[in-house]
Structure 1
Amino acid sequence: MEEVHDDDIDKVFLQIQKELQRIKPEVKRRGEEPSGWSEFYGPGFALKIPGGFEEIGKEKAASVFFSKNRPEMILVNSHEHAGLTFQTARLENGKTIIDLEAERERIRRILKQADGKNVFYDQGNVSGTIPALWFDYKSFAADERVYNMMFLFLAEGKLIIGTFYCIFKDYDRWKPKILTMLGTIQTEEEEHERIQS
């Protein structure tokens, strides 16, 4: 690894990313998630989430997200200073097929234009029952750096846009867990079939 100084956190982050890619985290098959994970049901999908996340109501959501345009579903892990959000995007003219890669790039462009301080790092695909595309970036909130992983997938004709966020210094502990989580996404119908069998 190349020598870096304490004030060059982005360079350190990119070097760690290269190491993580070299190691390639395994996407675990359904049922092999770490103990303590729980099932979460969204509109048309189900997935396993790491332990400690709880869905919050509108009042608490207002204290987490100051904008009135809040995600539909917000889960927080207050002990770990982390959260998950899920939002259903409307598809134009009843489209059921969408180019997820083009949509991912469109969202990245919007985020770059919205805040030029955002630093974008990596992107990838997770092949599970339902494929998911993701990218990660660093944003800034008050005096804290925030790690974000945004992900997209299709579930029963709906585009689901999700985000994981945590304090930036904790990203290396969370990133493999969230990639594992993305590998567990199923449609609600598939989940019901799994339970009945």
Structure 2
Amino acid sequence: MLPENFVPILPEIVEVKYFSGKRPDEIYTSLYMSVNFTFTDLGISGNDEDTRLAAGLIKQIIRNANPGDEFFEESEDIEKEVIINRFDFKSYGIDDEAYNIMYIASTGNSLIQGTFNCLYRDRIEWKRVALEVIKTVSMYHGGK
């Protein structure tokens, strides 16, 4: 349940913004492209332990690649029988700081990796919205 003014990102923007070979399956952005949600079906099923391990591994990879990133909260939530392990952090870009939430959700059928990011200065405005969107991953992907 994304905010109504979010749209799929244009393919030519994807190649610039996500320049590595592996890109998320779905990327939605705000009208000014400063706020983004991504969703990737990992194509495997998993349980609560799998989500915990995967989220921890992703966090460690980010920490190793970007030792200057500042990590905040970690949590495990259950929404409509979907287990969601998430963490948030501040990262540094070329021209600005970003606020990020990364998560792994087990819908029973598959593991979903998702991200949210916005400008760090806008995090207070967007964090609650992002957490509400993350809760709805179970509604969108649970029936797949």
TM range (shorter): 0.7 to 0.9
CA contact (8 A) 1:84 1:164 kept: yes
Output the CA distance in 2 between the equivalents of 1:121 and 1:190.
Answer: 28
CA contact (8 A) 1:126 1:182 kept: no
Residue in 2 that maps onto 1:79: 32
Local SS of the residue matching 2:5:
coil
Residue in 2 that maps onto 1:107: 58
Residue in 2 that maps onto 1:88: 41
Gaps of 5+ in 1: 1-47, 192-197
* Cα-Cα RMSD: 2.3
Output the CA distance in 1 between the equivalents of 2:69 and 2:142.
Answer: 37
Gaps of 5+ in 2: none
The reply on whether 1:186 has 2:138 as its aligned counterpart is yes
Deviation at 1:86, TM superposition (A): 1.0
Q: Deviations over 1:71-130 (max 9, x none)?
A: 111111033610011112244xxx544611122111111111111111111111333112
Output the CA distance in 1 between the equivalents of 2:21 and 2:52.
Answer: 28
Q: Deviations over 1:128-165 (max 9, x none)?
A: 11232210001111121010000110235321100000
The reply on whether 1:146 has 2:98 as its aligned counterpart is yes
CA gap 1:190/1:160 in 2 versus in 1, 3 angstroms:
closer
Deviation at 1:52, TM superposition (A): 1.6
Output the CA distance in 1 between the equivalents of 2:119 and 2:71.
Answer: 16
Output the CA distance in 2 between the equivalents of 1:189 and 1:71.
Answer: 15
Output the CA distance in 2 between the equivalents of 1:57 and 1:155.
Answer: 28
Residue in 1 that maps onto 2:73: 122
Residue in 1 that maps onto 2:2: 49
CA gap 1:72/1:161 in 2 versus in 1, 3 angstroms:
same
Output the CA distance in 2 between the equivalents of 1:133 and 1:80.
Answer: 26
Number of residues paired by the alignment?
142
Percent identity, aligned pairs only, is 24
TM-score normalised by length of structure 2: 0.85
